[in-house]
Structure 1
Amino acid sequence: MYDKKTFTMKNPLFLVLFFLTAHFSLEATPSSLFWTVCTTDVYETGIGHTDVDNYFTVFNRRGEGSYFAPDVGLELGLFTISDLSMEAGFDYYGGSDDPLTLNAKIGVKENILFQNAPSASVGIFNVGTRTRTKDRTNQNIVDWIIGKTLPDWIGGGRLFLGAFSGSRAMGKNRQGFMIGYSRSFCEALYCGKTPYFKWQLNCDYASGKNSIGGGSLGIYYFFTPLISIAWGPVFFNDTHFNGKWKWSVQIDISFEVFKP
């Protein structure tokens, strides 16, 4: 079904991958699972996505409660060229100093690079605007991720493996690995004609004592194919950086911005 791709500098897919991996100073969360960005998914061209993510402690003793600034994100699928798709966007952390961070990501689906190939993506996120002082936000985390759909006989779903590298602003361990898993279930029809899954289970983990180190287990419920709510616990490798484990509630809405 798919032609094998040749990895030469004349191949536009290779050119873009080379550009992103060779220039770490490109320009904050792109498509994600729950806590981490360990997925190769990229929003389709012309599709916008907004989300509001909240993290807060539960079962607190008096004076021990904590929370993260609410994260309002906006993402847009920009283009698709030679099976290569790109998205870019920003996150705004309400109520915090220097609240804006940027991100960008490119990716290809399974079986595109070669026969039976995994999906693959290269991205950068948490590109903050404060570049000086100990509270700088320019973490500039670059990630490389591959993903593969698992056969039904071992449970189905999709498995993702990735690596990341960032600046000193992200904490002690600047390089590490990520792993993620996603499984959709309970198929339904929207308005009697559009198939989709009403529930999705996502779990992920990032290594290291740093801003993204930790894991989560998130349950998504889709009201429609484009609107969902998710909730679940998030645990952190470095409590000095992120505090105690927190409960997260996330609302996601996708919409068409333009036709490709």
Structure 2
Amino acid sequence: MKRVTKILGVLSLAALLGAGTVYATPSTHVWAPSTDIQAYGVAHITSDIYVPVKKLDIIDLEGTEDDGVDDRPGTITNLGLTVGVLPHEKIGLEVGFDHIEGQYPLYLNAKVGVPEGAYGELFPAIAVGAYSIGTKTGGDNTVDPTKPGTDYNILYAKAAKTIGNFGRVSAGFYTGNEKLLVDEKAKSSENGILLCWERTLSEVSENLWVAIDYMGGESSVGALSYGFAWKFAPNTAVIFGYVDQTNDNVLPGDTFTMQVDIDFDVFKKK
């Protein structure tokens, strides 16, 4: 109930911010996946860092604190590339990969969708996608969390619509690998809702974008996130955000994040 109250409070504040158009860094908002898809021939490079903000007292499977894991987790880095590959105005497809430090660092992603207004003024943006498709299979955190796999295989569907001066809202659902997406008691928590509000604060600058997104669940992907982005150039933006993890007893805990996003039109004529 506390989490729901927090979400409603933040969204109420968002409603007071007024008018403006919206844009989002494609593929995700601050943390959760978005309905945005790279245009055909556009390569999107992202460099993200996530810095844990506090030490964690991890709860072991018997329900007591594990004194062996009570320090602040290390910084997480991610370098990714996503490319739009479908030359069609009313349906898009992007494919890509992420390199996240670790023994098996490669993760794949893909998304197909329809942009807002493609089939009429009231038609929402719709996207279906997958990410965190890892290359190491066979892990089972419900049995032995010391030997995890990387095939989180998160699948999601999401719809988004701009609502006048309020901004753009989106909602959806995700599911993933029940053996890897677990809580601190190694209980599966592989499903959850997806919510987001986002908006360009044109009263300040057309380059300033803000977002609040929520990803349900008690595993490490469940979080309420909020942040803003500044567009330094037509193809370059930097997001600054905070990822407030739903379950404080799973790694990595709450994090500050900075995400640098650069787009290149590989088919652009010189």
8 Å CA contact 1:236–1:242 kept in 2: the answer is no
8 Å CA contact 1:220–1:228 kept in 2: the answer is yes
Secondary structure in structure 1 of the residue aligned to 2:228? strand
Does residue 91 (structure 1) correspond to residue 98 (structure 2)? The answer is yes
The verdict on how the C-alpha distance between 1:158 and 1:115 changes in structure 2, with shifts beyond 3 A counting, is closer
The verdict on how the C-alpha distance between 1:59 and 1:235 changes in structure 2, with shifts beyond 3 A counting, is closer
Identity of aligned residues (%): 28
In 1, distance between residues paired with 2:89 and 2:202?
33
Show the 5 A alignment for 1:1-260.
Answer: 31-37=27-33, 39-58=34-53, 64-81=71-88, 83-94=90-101, 96-113=102-119, 116-134=122-140, 135-152=148-165, 155=166, 157-168=167-178, 169-171=180-182, 172-186=188-202, 197-258=206-267
Q: Output the TM-score relative to the length of structure 1.
A: 0.77
Q: Output the TM-score relative to the length of structure 2.
A: 0.75
In 1, distance between residues paired with 2:116 and 2:197?
16
Q: Structure 1, residues 152-199: CA drift from partner, whole Å, max 9, x if none?
A: 2xx3x11010101111222221121100111112389xxxxxxx9211
8 Å CA contact 1:222–1:229 kept in 2: the answer is yes
The verdict on how the C-alpha distance between 1:148 and 1:242 changes in structure 2, with shifts beyond 3 A counting, is same
Point out where structure 1 has 5 or more consecutive residues left out of the alignment. Answer: 1-29, 189-195
User: What is the identity, as a one-letter code, of the residue corresponding to 2:37?
Assistant: V
8 Å CA contact 1:86–1:104 kept in 2: the answer is yes
Aligned residue pairs total: 219
Q: Hey, which of these two has a bigger chunk of strand by percent?
A: 1
Point out where structure 2 has 5 or more consecutive residues left out of the alignment. Answer: 1-25, 57-69, 141-147, 183-187
In 2, distance between residues paired with 1:122 and 1:213?
19
